[in-house]
Amino acid sequence: MIDPATGKPTCRSNLEPGTTPPNLSALGLGNTFDLLIGFPTSGFPTTFTPGPNSGCAPINLFDPTANNKAALAFAFPTVHNTGVLTEWDLNGLVSFDFPQVQDIGFAKPLSVVLGGEWRRESSASFSPPQSVIPSLFFGSGASPVRGSFSVGEAFGEVSVPVLSDQPYAQELSFDLAGRVSSYSTAGTDETWKIGFVYAPIADVKFRGTDAVAVRAPDIGELFAPQQQTFQQIDDPCDPAFIAQGTSFRAANCQALMNNLLGPGQYVAGVTPVQSNVTLPTLIGGNPNLFPESARTYTVGVVLQPRFLPDFAATIDYYRVSITNAIEAPSAQAVAD
């Protein structure tokens, strides 16, 4: 608006502090304005104090070069989020050998390691209050959050040297390891590993492992605050994409559209819909997560021919199968 006292542009709220967006109910449009901006008109104004000292400065969207620093600072403020991560860790282990096993044919002493560990991790983040109010910013700040978890673990490992410096058995040994972890957030899990090393001659060594591993959700995956993102989605019910899903997609789309639009308004695979949209979404941590687990197989060979000093080559094959993987599904995956 034009300030009649100065003849220059000014914010409407400076001249009319009680101003709110127009009520369109008289036109039969109800709360259309609220829906368009995603914020109820009853909450206006909440970003500043109306009146001559509000700090609001008018911005010219059609001529950016005409804007002053105050207008740009008001329309594009910079806010800062702060966070703190802490970890306490206490661990210890003992190791010892059993040379007595050599009396029953073992190549070397049996080696054993036993230990335990306790950890506590905590997280806290802080955001300016105005940055987390929906729709006051194009991208709202992360919500403040606090969270922590602790874990106690016990582990052990045994190295079993079976043969050494024998014909066709320069080395044959096995490793066995196990660990029990108890998480305050994710329960108790066990992991283990069995491995071997076999060297028929000094130049060639074969190795392999079979292991079960787990990865508990970290502090961010558990407690990260929700933050706004924007994701582009191709509507799976559009004719261009309906054939790319499972055999159930067409029926699912028909049922969904019947519920949204009413029977007869949509025909699966025929009626075009908004095939490409960008939607605001939220992403954040999930305190109800459980650990993901993996079964890992590895087989390999190490080549160190004596006639080629300082040369070594390794070839390994591995296969990893992950169960209950922790990941944030994309909006497209959810829609599909």
Task: For the beta carbon of residue 292, count every other beta carbon within 10 angstroms.
Answer: 16
pLDDT digits (tens, 9 = 90+) for 179-209: 999 999 888 999 999 999 999 999 999 999 9
Burial class (CB in 10 A: 0-12, 13-18, 19+), 109: middle
- CA distance to 233, 246, 253, per residue, from 237 (Å): 11, 12, 6
Angle at 239 between CA 283 and CA 259, to 5 degrees: 65
Average the pLDDT over each of 42-51, 231-240, 272-281 and give the range with the smallest value: 42-51
Q: DSSP assignment of 245-308, as one string?
A: S-TTHHHHHHHHHHHHH-TTS--TTTS----EEEEEEEE---TT---EEEEEEEEEEEE--TTS
Residue 94, both tokens: 């003992």
Handedness of CA 322, 327, 330, 336 (dihedral sign): positive
Q: How confident is the model at residue 322 (pLDDT cuts 50, 70, 90)?
A: very high
Exposure on the CB side of residue 37, measured as CA atoms within 13 A: 16
Domain ranges of the chain: 12-75, 82-216+296-302
What pLDDT sits at residue 140?
Answer: 62
Q: What is the DSSP string of 127-167?
A: --GGGGSTTSSSSPPPPPEEEEEEEEEEEEEEEEEEEEEET
pLDDT at 41: 55
Total-model pTM? 0.68
- pLDDT-wise least confident of 53-62, 242-251, 262-271: 53-62
Asked if 78 and 130 touch (Cβ cutoff 8 Å), the reply is: no
Other C-beta atoms within 10 Å of 70: how many?
13
pLDDT > 90? residue 141: no
Angle at 306 (CA atoms; ends 301, 311), nearest 5 degrees:
65
Question: Roughly how many angstroms between the first and final C-alpha of the chain, as a whole number?
Answer: 47
**Could you give the CA distance from residue 294 to residue 291 in angstroms, rounded to a whole number?**
10
DSSP percent split of the chain into helix, strand, coil, nearest 5: 20, 40, 40
**Which residues are 193's β-sheet partners?**
177, 211
